[in-house]
Structure 1
Amino acid sequence: MILKHYFILYKPFLIFLASFFLTYILLTFLYQNYLNNFDDQKMDTITKIVGNNTEKVLRLFTQDASIQESSSGPYMKVIYNQKYVARIIEGCNAISIIILFISFVIAFSGKFVSTLLFVFCGSFLLYVLNVIRIAALSALIFHFPNQESILHEVFFPLSIYGVVFILWLFWIRKFSKYARKNT
């Protein structure tokens, strides 16, 4: 009897948790199955695309930038002004961040079409910002090599997670089923 009372009382929260974790687990499982198609020495296609797009962004500012696939492991070398400044690994492709973003939006879902559009547009925005983030990080590491750890471990994760947080707030306030409706 008491358990039923708490279940009814906390039902919205429990539904949020269940939908968040189910979505997160499902998308992570699908992504891991995708990654299992590549061995330890082969770069996955998504990360290659991120590398190619990063090179295009870098070349907007200097022609002396390139991305080279490594022969010694599954990563891509970022060459900026003839100097190897960074490497792009699978974890740099922002898919795990996008999975987290999608899981939260679905957990606070709104109308089907608006949820789908927000997931698509938000994921695209995160992808583009991540490519710009990698390009900017590479250029900044070239110019400020002593600041690499603070740039890579603090500033740039804070920036991408900050954008995710702002998107979540926007979603909850404007489109989710919990958004305030003006009457």
Structure 2
Amino acid sequence: MKDFLPVLKILLRFVVIYIVLVLLYQFYLNGYEKEVVDPFTRWVAKQVAFLQDLLGFPTILVDNMKLHSVLFRTSGKFTTRMVEGCNVFSVAILFAAFIFAFYKGKKTFLYVAGGLVILHILNVFRIALLNIIYLKYPQYEKIGHDYIFPAIIYGGVVILWLVWIQFFALKKTGRP
């Protein structure tokens, strides 16, 4: 059992941090139940619309209270809708909990901050590209939404985890 103690400590830290972050996020979301979407989700939608505009796909955001969504009207056509689950926050919680489970001091906070920025950027590009696929290549909607684009986010998380483990968490220090 003694050999498993370090692993159990890491696992316990992960579970506790994950549960605390999920509860805090749920508390945040509860404050916006009567809104179309929460402010963070709206912020992500605005960034996606801005990127799509830059890429030559004029986009208007349309609130839909019935669906608790922000609809993307891209080049005059409704493409997708932004819901809370698309804002990458839940995935970011999972990412952060894992990194903090392997806590290594101040650099842990820096790595989590950098990783969250990377995941956010990946997510904005992912949603913009998904809207473009819905507009230009509708035959690939399902495979894009259900397989390719989740793989981008989860693949990004796994790569960030592997980098953290390989180069920070398990790296030997010069001390005895």
The gaps in structure 2 that reach 5 residues or longer are none
> Is this contact kept in 2: 1:51–1:88, CA < 8 A?
yes
Cα distance between partner residues in 1 of 2:154 and 2:172? 25
**1:37 equivalenced with 2:56 (yes/no):** no
Match of 1:76 among 70, 78, 84: 70
**1:134 equivalenced with 2:134 (yes/no):** no
| Structure 2 counterpart of 1:3 | none
| Structure 1 counterpart of 2:48 | 54
Cα distance between partner residues in 2 of 1:163 and 1:182? 30
Q: Aligned with 2:54: secondary structure?
A: coil
**1:19 equivalenced with 2:13 (yes/no):** yes
Task: Output aligned runs, 1:114-133, within 5 Å.
Answer: 114-133=107-126
Q: How many residues align?
A: 175
Task: Output aligned runs, 1:104-115, within 5 Å.
Answer: 104-110=98-104, 112-115=105-108
Report deviation, 1:96: 0.5
| Structure 2 counterpart of 1:171 | 164
**1:87 equivalenced with 2:116 (yes/no):** no
Match of 2:96 among 78, 99, 102: 102
Report deviation, 1:181: 4.8
Q: TM-score, normalised by structure 2?
A: 0.94
Which shifted more, 14-23 or 71-80? Answer: 71-80
The gaps in structure 1 that reach 5 residues or longer are 1-5
Counting aligned pairs with the same residue, the percent is 34
Report deviation, 1:72: 2.8
| Structure 2 counterpart of 1:144 | 137
Cα distance between partner residues in 1 of 2:142 and 2:21? 30
Larger Rg over CA atoms: 1
- CA change 1:71–1:9 in 2 (3 A) is closer
Match of 1:158 among 148, 151, 156: 151
Q: Letter of the 2:97 partner, please give it.
A: S
Q: TM-score, normalised by structure 1?
A: 0.91
